[in-house]
């Protein structure tokens, strides 16, 4: 082998070694599972989960409809059949699906059939979207447990539905509590969400950790 060839081989070996080290140093993808819930305004459902131990991300979006790539305007006009919803990525080693369900129930009014709080319409109705038999089993058990507890004085109308495509909402809706906190807080108070949750659940009502 020529001297030039030997030098080139050495350079290639060093480059390969550096690439291997870089690949080893690259962090592994965050562990996680997914849950999808509809509980009325997705701005408020985001803050029910944000900041809690084990929550990796919360995304506002639309699910449960047949149209592809729905827009906020289309969903609001009842043109697509989608629910406003949130997709939660979480670490099952730090927070369980059962715990997510408990947060969900105590963040909504499960007895309201025409929407949630001041928001009326199909897109604001509450639902749990289950992706696996285990999720369905846990969701159904949590609903039965809530019904038999008699904590609520009216029938529970929240549906348990098969998960379908989740379409992230427009960027301006994501983390709205950060982007426009005054409008977010004004809306939340004006809609009576926290007041109704307190009346339904008392001290068990979920209070956002971020606001």
Give the HSE-up count for residue 84: Cα atoms under 13 Å, Cβ half-sphere: 27
Catalytic pick among 41, 44, 118, 191: 41
Residue with tokens 């131990």: 53
Please state at what angle helix 181-191 crosses helix 193-201, rounded to 10 degrees. Answer: 50
Integer angstrom CA distances of residue 126 from 2, 117, 122, 188: 74, 11, 9, 17
Q: Is 191 a catalytic residue?
A: no
Residue 62 φ/ψ region, left for φ over 0, alpha for ψ in the -120 to 50 degree band, beta for the rest: beta
Which residues carry out catalysis? Answer: 41
């Amino acid at each position: 082998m020529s001297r030039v060839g030997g030098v080139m081989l050495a350079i290639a070996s060093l480059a390969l070694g550096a690439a291997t080290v870089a690949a080893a140093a690259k962090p592994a993808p965050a562990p996680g599972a997914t849950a999808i819930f509809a509980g009325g305004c997705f701005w408020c459902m985001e803050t029910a989960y944000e900041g809690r131990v084990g929550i990796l991300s919360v995304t506002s979006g639309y699910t449960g409809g047949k149209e592809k790539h729905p827009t906020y305007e289309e969903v609001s006009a009842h043109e697509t059949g989608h629910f406003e919803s949130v997709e939660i990525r979480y670490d099952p080693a730090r927070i369980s699906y059962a715990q997510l369900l408990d947060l969900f129930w105590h963040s909504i009014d499960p007895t309201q059939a025409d929407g949630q709080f001041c928001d009326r319409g199909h897109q604001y109705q509450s639902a749990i979207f289950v992706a696996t038999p285990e999720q369905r089993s846990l969701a159904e058990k949590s609903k039965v447990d809530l019904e038999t507890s008699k904590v609520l004085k009216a029938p529970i109308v929240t549906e348990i539905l098969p998960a379908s495509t989740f379409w992230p909402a427009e960027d301006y809706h994501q983390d709205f509590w950060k982007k426009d906190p005054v409008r977010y807080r004004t809306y939340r108070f004006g809609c009576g969400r926290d007041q109704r949750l307190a009346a339904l659940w008392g001290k068990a009502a979920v209070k956002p950790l971020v606001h």
